Amino acid sequence: MNRYIKYILGLATMALGVVLMKKAALGITPITSLPLALNEVLPVLSLGNWTILFHILCIIAIIVITRKVAVKTILMFPVGICFGYFIDFLLWLWQFETDILWLRILLLVVGIPVSGLGVALINDADLMLPSPDGLIRTIAAVYNRKYPIVKIIGDCTWVTCAVIIELSVLHRLQAVHVGTVASALLVGRTIKKWNQLLFHGGQK
């Protein structure tokens, strides 16, 4: 499969995972929790648009930290825009809503491996990272810190901001819930499984 097609397919698949978890309303991935919290508090912008703004903020942070404007960093702009539009398109396409708990759990259970598949496709395309993950890797490289530790700190930062925003304005949690914990624990494992199934353990 062409690397560019695989990359775009990965973005679309990752966006589908986000939509499935949002429809489950049981919490979303840590990296999307902040855009979703902002969308809940200020619905004047769609989740996709808040996601785009979040990606742009991460790009600006990368430029500030590295003190240079690399081509690869600039190319993260269209990636973030594409990902945000994928989210909004799929939300528009999928109007299904439910209060039935087992259906919501099913959406969450399906959404987690779908998100993992999207990330696996993006990683295997080996083009560029979405800016939030690019920011984490940049921090780890510039400050000589282990990536997994920085990743955990980053996820905790997004989730903490989302919790503060929702509790201070809505007085309830929507973006952060049990699904957030489940996705934090399981998405990485599903990425490894997809690599083993589709990409021979990530070896090209």
Integer Cα distance of 196 and 14 in angstroms? 18
**Predicted local confidence at residue 204, as pLDDT:** 43
**Predicted local confidence at residue 126, as pLDDT:** 84
Task: For residue 43, give its domain range.
Answer: 3-198
- Does a structural domain hold residue 203? no
Q: Where are the alpha helices (DSSP H) in 67-143?
A: 71-74, 76-93, 101-125, 131-142
- Does a structural domain hold residue 89? yes
Integer Cα distance of 19 and 9 in angstroms? 15
Tokens linked to 76 = 């993260």
CB environment 53-65: b (16+ within 10 A), e (fewer): ebbbebbebbeee
Q: What's the number of domains the chain is made of?
A: 1
- Does a structural domain hold residue 204? no
Predicted TM-score (pTM) of this structure = 0.91
**Predicted local confidence at residue 201, as pLDDT:** 54
**Predicted local confidence at residue 17, as pLDDT:** 96
Q: In Å, how far are 35, 60, 90, 169, 180 from 135, measured between CA atoms?
A: 16, 9, 26, 28, 20
- Does a structural domain hold residue 76? yes
Q: Which residues of the chain have pLDDT under 70?
A: 1, 200-204
- Does a structural domain hold residue 14? yes
**Predicted local confidence at residue 3, as pLDDT:** 87
Integer Cα distance of 85 and 51 in angstroms? 9
**Predicted local confidence at residue 1, as pLDDT:** 63
- Does a structural domain hold residue 56? yes
